[in-house]
Chains A and B, each alone.
Chain A
Amino acid sequence: MVKQASSKGTKRKKGLYWLRRDWRLYAMLAVPILWYVIFCYKPMAGLIIAFQKYNIFTGIKGSKFIGLENFEFVFGMRDFGIALRNTLWLNFLDLLFGFPVPIILAILLNEMRMLKLKKVSQTLLYLPHFLSWVIIGGMVLEIFAPTSGAINALLLKWGLVESNVPFLTNGAWWTFTYVLVGVWQGMGWGTILYLAAITGLDTTLFEAAQIDGANKLQQIWHVTLPGIRSTIVVLLVMNIGRMMSIGFDRPFIIGNTLVQDTCDVISTFVYRAGIQNNQFARATAIGLFQSVVGLILITVANSVSRLFDEQGIW
């Protein structure tokens, strides 16, 4: 009731009134807005080169408009389909295995009673997030390489395997390594939002559950999880929106030629067929295509979540 009344009140006042009253807040808001306009919206004008035969010497204004030729060329390339398929597949696996892990981890961390141990494990879990992929790539080689890699060396020494486990050299095994490393790197960082959401839960709910005789598992299932449901949904929607885009570093650094058909994703494809070749217009065309599909995916995911009476992200 209260909420409604106040929103009615808002309507009656004119926009200028709020601007005058809260101008300091608006002034502060103006800064990030300006930032977005300058660094995110203005460069969008450059997207036009996706439709041009771009010449770096004559610039955007002097380049010839060629319609969808760049798109046709890129979609016609043999590797594009493979890269698209791999992008979606790897992202799907990441979502399948990588998404639930931070939730579980956050709940586990939350249930920890020894504060010191909790703090230490939290820090240790965050740590990989701050490592550059180049460093992680080096570690992956040390650990998973054939013969000289730590795991293979041990397995061979103990006689558990007869020949190397092809962690990096066989498509399916490589996918396993890729997902494993990704989950390991991201899980700690992913817990932050969930932990914040859990901390925000009303403690009386837990007390009530305890009085009703709920054990720990039941408390988690009936109080914690429903409590952070909206956070989970928002993050899920955002993750689905990112299905089409994939970071460059991780597949590029962990990947290798032997598993080219598995590890080639859109970002590495763009780098190879666009940037390395100085084909900026084609690279832009792929980028635009990715963004459009990403926009569609996120819109659909958002609508679906709203259908299920969740908030969505807008």
Chain B
Amino acid sequence: MKKFQKVLSLALAFGMCVSMFAGCGSGSDDKGGSSSAADKTESSAAQSDSNEESTPPAENNDEWITLRVEMYDRSIAGFNVEDCWQLHYIQENFGDPNHIKVEWVPVSRWEEGTILNTQLAGGTAPDICMTYGGDLVQQYVDMGGIYALDGMLDEYAPDLKAFLGDNVLEYGQFDVGNGKEQFALPARRIIVATQVNYIRKDWLEKLNMEVPTNVDELYEYLKAAKEQNLGGEKTIPYASDLYSADPFYGWIYQMDAFIDYSQVTEEDWVAHHDFHYLLPGAKEAIRWMNKFFNEGLVTDYFGIENSDQTKSDRVNGYDGFWMGNWDAAWRMEDSFQIDLEKNVEGASYIACDAFKPDSEDKPHETYTAAGQYIFIPASVPEETAIAALKYLNWMCQPESLFALQNGEEGHNYTTVDENGIPTDLKNVDDTEDAYKLHATDGAPICNGFYYGSDELNFAASANAYPGYTDEVAHSLEISNTFGYEPISFTRTIQARVDYGTTVISKEAELLVQTVTCKPEEFDAKWDEYMNALLTSGGQQIIDEQREAYKEGAYRGSYPMAE
């Protein structure tokens, strides 16, 4: 019996040890990951060395360099980031001739910021990193974590420089005390359009109304839709819910329409970047919304984020009016229009601009010409950084870019039209696994399909929504009309780093409280929550942005300048 106990206890202790070390292993995943990545690099380098020996020796006896490139993993079924058509194409056409072994490092699209942070802190980040987080890049620049590219672009990436252009490149320039320097390479954004209003075309026809062009006409439409219950019992004339990550994102369109531009100077414009609700007149846009809400014309769960409910309301045909991105109604992966047609016969959405109070043109904010940021960590050795620039430079050659974005004829599309645009680009789900690709991720220097000119690019974009080409083109036109690029800053606005997220949460409160309160309380609520917003750091941000204006440390300009 004693012996049995001994054996048992030993076995137990052993078992615990094993399970603990198993825990250890997964706990220190980072280190394990990095060492195995290093192993891989070495072994692949060794492999390519041996390749070199077996093939006839190249004239220059260059060592092979391994270039690790961050690549978003969007969990597309059948698409293996580390072994895909685009990567093979790159290796064959760029890597092999230049003695560079290109590796793609998969990073989950939805956690990219967190993963990037961890990798940079642990020194395991890829040689080419990318992120949509502009603030993140600026913080990295301030901490000295990003490779300064000044001078190197001219030497190693002249085509890239030409492709991006000065306007886009400027968004990657930051001032850390030695004047503006190029740290990041922003992607060139092909379509800068952001939002439009969507309205039910069939409802307008039933009501015998024209597409509203100002808020009074919109009000008439909403009221009539409610009175006649055009969407049934659950009619929501104006569907709107909160986007708490950036509460005023869907509102800038309305607010800009109400601003009294005669009272705004360029200095105010820059200082109030992201604070348009403080510009004279903008408040009236929210007052209208308060009126709509109190008359039961707006989603009654306004203020509670409930995207599932929002989506089902929309495709079930309850919604009469909403704000969305220029292609939101027709997006392939989540097409409201297609689902709506299935549920309600003859129902359709069209884009409009319902906020033009004085029937004059009002500016629309667009995206900046710069898309996501590409950068090289400061810890990367010089020769790898050069290889990285060569890689990006190669990528923007028309031939390479076309291949990376469109794939291979016969597999990803049948043929091209007279403008060189593929006639029937396949959806990733319909493509054979071996040819699956993600256009924007594979060629990160370009956000959107590029066919040589704006005209062709826009036409090609509309083509991507088969069956709705005209509607999409119309929407794009509305969204692009009198567009202006938002202001951005070339130095860190420290107050934004300190208080930015707090102010965003106060914005959400301001918006929700002022929209849902009684009309007679509107002004009091506005003052109360505005005060909270300003004292939570909002005023500091505005003041610092005003300073930045005086220093000239900003990009963009006042769209209504005489």
Which residues does A use to contact B, with CB under 8 Å? 24-25, 27-28, 31-32, 34-35, 38-39, 55-59, 73, 77-79, 141, 145-148, 164, 168-169, 256-258, 260-261, 264, 272-273, 276-279
Contacts and interface: CB of A to CB of B under 8 A. Distances in A.
A169 B17 contact: no
Interface string B481-510: 000000000000000011111100100110
Contact of A168 (B13, B304, B379): B304
B348 interface: no
Given A31-B13, A258-B513, A273-B502, A78 B301 contact: no
Interface string B284-308: 0000000000000000110111100
A56 B505 contact: no
A77 B498 CA distance: 10
A225 B144 CA distance: 63
B12 interface: yes
A260 B508 contact: yes
A146 B302 CA distance: 10
A278 B139 contact: yes
Contact of A146 (B9, B12, B301): B301
B6 A256 contact: no
Contact of B501 (A35, A261, A272): A272
B304 A272 contact: no
A56 B120 contact: yes
Given A77-B537, A146-B301, A277-B497, 20 more contacts: A24-B10, A31-B13, A31-B16, A35-B23, A56-B120, A56-B121, A57-B121, A73-B498, A78-B536, A78-B537, A145-B306, A146-B300, A169-B516, A257-B242, A257-B244, A257-B505, A257-B511, A260-B509, A277-B501, A279-B498
Nearest to A30: B13
A24 B14 CA distance: 11
Contact of A78 (B497, B512, B535): B535
A32 B13 CA distance: 11
A79 B509 CA distance: 13
A260 B306 CA distance: 16
B410 interface: no
B117 interface: yes
A257 B244 CA distance: 8
A260 B512 CA distance: 10
Given A56-B143, A78-B535, A31 B497 contact: no
A58 B123 CA distance: 10
Contacts of B144: 55, 57-58
A57 B145 contact: yes
A257 B513 CA distance: 9
A28 B306 contact: no
Contacts of B247: 257
A35 B20 contact: yes
B309 interface: yes
B378 interface: yes
A145 B309 CA distance: 11
A261 B528 CA distance: 13
Contact of B117 (A256, A257, A260, A278): A278
Interface string B1-30: 000001001101100110010011001000
Interface residues of B, number: 49
B148 interface: no
Given A35-B20, A56-B121, A257-B508, A169 B303 contact: yes
B532 interface: yes
A126 B358 CA distance: 62
A256 B505 contact: no
B136 interface: yes
A257 B512 contact: yes
A204 to B, nearest CB: 32
Interface string B308-351: 01000000000000000000000000000000000000000000
A20 to B, nearest CB: 14
A24 B9 contact: yes
A148 B502 contact: no
Contacts of B242: 257
Contacts of A141: 304, 306, 309
Contact of B303 (A31, A32, A147, A257): A257
Question: Which 3 A-B pairs rank lowest in CB-CB distance, beginning with the nearest?
Answer: A57-B145, A56-B121, A257-B508
A262 to B, nearest CB: 11
A258 B9 contact: no
Given A27-B13, A258-B303, A34 B509 contact: no
Contacts of A147: 300-301
B20 A34 contact: yes
A25 B5 CA distance: 12
B532 A78 contact: yes
Contacts of B139: 278
A31 B304 CA distance: 47
B497 A24 contact: no
Contacts of B136: 278
Contacts of A277: 497-498, 500-501
Contacts of B12: 28
B509 A31 contact: no
A265 to B, nearest CB: 13
B505 A272 contact: yes
Contacts of B501: 272-273, 276-277
B378 to A, nearest CB: 7
A58 B532 CA distance: 36
B512 A258 contact: yes
Contacts of A56: 117, 120-121, 143, 145
A196 B32 CA distance: 43
A257 B509 CA distance: 6
Contacts of B145: 55-57
A148 B536 contact: no
A309 B532 CA distance: 49
